[in-house]
Structure 1
Amino acid sequence: MDWTNLLTNVTGELFAPTTAAFALAAIGLNVHFGLTGLLNMGQAGFMLLGAYGFAISTIAGWPLWAAVLVAVVCAVAFAVVLGIPTLKLRGDYLAIVTIAAAEIVRIIGRSTALSDLTGASNGLLGNSFKHTFQDASPFPDGTFALGPFSYALNASNSWWLRLVAWVVVALACLLVWRLMTSPWGRVLKGIREDEDAVRSLGKNAFAYKMQALVLGGVLGAMAGILFVLPRAVQPDAMGRPTTFWVWTILLLGGAATVFGPILGSMLFWSALMLIKSVMRQVVPPSFMSVAEIEAFGWIVVGVTLMLLIIFRPQGILGDKKELAIDAR
């Protein structure tokens, strides 16, 4: 077994664009759940809307900043439309509605009636919408090696994308930290703990929850952009499993913490890469095929999520007093 190459690939996952994208999506979910107590099971819907908004706008000839703005507007609109009828629901009822809403977005994206716009189940090819982002790079074309890590400077899986992705994640962490320590954040924590008590103090709990839903949704949409820049926009790539991966990442690192989503995403993707890589090397093909090894890796993810909920719902960095999972 080539341990050097294996460890290089696993370590590379720690700062990969996909890791950054899911960290950002988990930060958005942290605003929903960790800060406000909203059981949002539809974060993948925000990610898919952001990806579609960015890609379709770019294909239509819009500049980079305008395409990102369209993605943000799509997330805001979706949050408002979703929040008006659902934010009065609590606990598992809200979870059911949000996962259904995300599925509606995915199914609409797969619809053949919109194939000219969304590409239906085939999606949108990456080369059709990546050029504006790559053109914004200050780096020359070519490849750059930093230690054992060698990537292109401007291609899909590039240093430029990694730099932008982690800067966005850092800014999102800074924003959430400032909000958590602000009066606005303290009201959201109050809603998470006892919404009726917050209402009795004259606060409009519905308005605060709507603001949290919009903010977390915008972060999810930005995560969707980062997720599709190294690949294509494919609706089934951001379906129900994506939401559960984001939940696993958040609960692994710790809800209601600033750096929990980042730690969770790094551990999630590097551990998944390690499990699959080791099994491909040591498990004979006659016993388990490559497809079965891939499926087994996700089985491990599911078991991990169950064990987290049972034995350590607060995650690695979390405080159990900060976590309130209820179904009121």
Structure 2
Amino acid sequence: MELTRILTQVLGELIAPTTAAYALAAIGLNLHFGYTGLLNMGQAGFMLLGAYGFAIATIAGLPFFVALLIAIAAGALFALILGVPTLKLRGDYLAIVTISAAEIIRMIGRSTVFNDSTGGSSGLTGNSFKYTFMDLSFLPDGSTQFGPWEYSNNGSNSWWVRLVAWSVVLLAVLLVWLITRSPWGRVLKGIREDEDAVRALGKNVYSYKMQALILGGVAGSVAGVLFVLPRAVQPDSMGRSMTFFIWTILLLGGAATIWGPVVGSMIFFGVYMLLRAGMRVALPDAISSAQIEQIGGMIVGITLMCLVIFRPQGIFGDKKELAFDGR
């Protein structure tokens, strides 16, 4: 009975809105790192800005699509601000700037100075901003069972949220597939391998890097919107841990691959749920929920280190095309 319950929870994680949100964020990071070689260590900052942009705009009375455009604009502007002073530099400078900038966004979000807009450390409740999205649903009321999954048709944890979230992910996969096979995408790969050679061919490397940073940042912003649709906007839930989760997902599935971020997200959250549920059953009295989360975080860190050391190309990646020691 316990095994059946655990397996049901694991299967539920495979199509959860959170899994889709992380997959989309990893797709954006894939454009940064996998195809262009940009070490963005602050993807959670893009997600938090997108979430805040959407939520604050909706609370102000703007319709869904206008609020979504504001979230996208916030991500693009953030990428522009980060890219202008750093993209002419090499290597790790962007990583330092992005992880610091993401922390600045988080600290601003939880600051009492902007409490009226951001809700401070308590954040913004879901009921205050998700109603415009829920009003778009064409699904009837009630619940529907599909295979092992049964959810309500509408609401925070519903088929409607899952349908939209995974549709956006599939659209992003199609977009990446198209652009990476275009001349523009081939230039990005050239920059990743040897930007001096690309510059010698007359290409504006700085411009291409900026375009990739903005496009991946926009994907992160939309992922932030998807992430908060089933829950509240809480700044501490989109901190450094989220960025490292996204990196683990990308490296697990394989950077510079089309389906790697999606499959990596599904495997990551499926195994993560299996570990947490297994520990709760195996050690019900010896370990608390908080300790389970901490152990889970340690396992993610160990997994990330092992991936970088033993299989940096991930499940679907090609080691000849992409490896850390080639950067």
Are 1:8 and 2:8 matched, yes or no? yes
Residue of structure 2 in register with 1:111 after alignment:
111
Cα deviation, residue 147, structure 1? 2.8
Q: What amino acid is aligned across from residue 291 of structure 2 in structure 1?
A: E
Return the alpha-carbon distance in structure 2 between the equivalents of residues 308 and 245 of structure 1. Answer: 13
Please list every run of at least 4 consecutive aligned residues from structure 1 whose deviation after the TM superposition is greater than 6 angstroms: none
What residue number does 2:243 align with? 243
SS of equivalent residue, structure 1 residue 144? strand
Query: Is 1:147 equivalent to 2:147 in the alignment?
Result: yes
2:57/2:67 contact within 8 Å kept: yes
Amino acid aligned to 2:63? P
Counterpart residue identity of residue 260, structure 1: G
Q: Indicate yes or no: 2:314 matched with 1:323.
A: no
Map of 1:201 onto structure 2 = 201
Q: Write the distance in 1 (CA, Å) between the matches of 2:292 and 2:323.
A: 36
- Give how far 1:4 is off: 1.2
Match of 2:290 in 1: 291
Q: How many Å apart are 1:282 and its aligned residue?
A: 1.0
Q: Counterparts of 1:67 and 1:170 in 2: how far apart (Å)? A: 22
Answer yes or no: is the 8 Å Cα contact 2:18–2:226 preserved in 1: yes
| Structure 1 spans left out of the alignment, 5+ residues | none
Over 3 Å counting, the alpha-carbon distance change for 1:254 and 1:327 in structure 2 is closer
Distance 1:220 1:322 in 2: 25
Structure 2: 5+ residue runs without aligned partners? none
| Residue aligned with 1:20, SS | helix
SS of the aligned residue for 2:324 comes to coil
**Superposition map of 1:64-143 within 5 A:** 64-143=64-143
The CA deviation string for residues 188-240 of structure 1, in whole angstroms up to 9 with x for no partner, is: 00000001001000000000000000000000000000000000001111011
Q: Is the 8 A contact 1:35 1:188 kept in 2?
A: yes
Match of 2:56 in 1: 56
Kindly provide the CA deviation profile for residues 243-279 of structure 1, in whole angstroms up to 9, marking residues without a partner as x.
1000000000000000000011001101000001011
Give the 3-state SS of the residue equivalent to 1:300 in structure 2.
helix
User: What is aligned with 2:299?
Assistant: 300
- Cα drift, residue 140 of structure 1: 1.8
Mapped partners of 1:97, 1:104: distance in 2: 10
- Show the 5 A alignment for 1:273-288: 273-285=273-285, 287-288=286-287
Alignment partner of 1:315: what SS? coil
Identity of paired residues, percent? 68
Deviations 1:281-327 (A, max 9, x none): 11141x22222122111111111001000100000000012214359
Confirm or deny: 8 A CA contact 2:313 2:323 kept in the other structure: no
Following superposition, the deviation at residue 88 of structure 1 comes to: 1.5
Could you tell me which amino acid in structure 1 is paired with residue 288 of structure 2?
S
Aligned mates of 1:136, 1:284 — CA distance in 2: 42
Aligned residue pairs, count: 327
Aligned partners of 1:326 and 1:60: how far apart in 2? Answer: 48
Q: Determine if contact 1:252/1:308 at 8 Å carries over to the other structure.
A: yes
Letter paired with 1:23? A
SS of alignment partner, residue 230 of structure 2: coil
1:20 aligns with 2:26: no
Matching of residue 161 in structure 1 with residue 161 in structure 2: yes
Q: Report the TM-score when normalising by structure 1.
A: 0.98
The 2-side partners of 1:326 and 1:38 are apart by 14
In the aligned structure 1, how far is the partner of 2:179 from the partner of 2:7?
Answer: 37
**d(CA) in 2 for partners of 1:58, 1:327:** 45
Shift, 1:77, TM fit: 0.7
Measured at CA, do residues 326 and 88 of structure 1 come closer, stay the same or move farther in structure 2, by a change above 3 Å?
Answer: farther
C-alpha contact 1:192 1:324 (8 A) present in aligned 2: no
Q: Distance in 2 between matches of 1:261 and 1:22?
A: 8
CA contact under 8 A between 1:37 and 1:325: conserved in structure 2? Answer: no
Taking a change above 3 Å as real, the CA distance of residues 253 and 309 of structure 1, as seen in their structure-2 partners, is same
The residue type paired with residue 317 of structure 1 is F
One-letter code of the match for 2:15? F
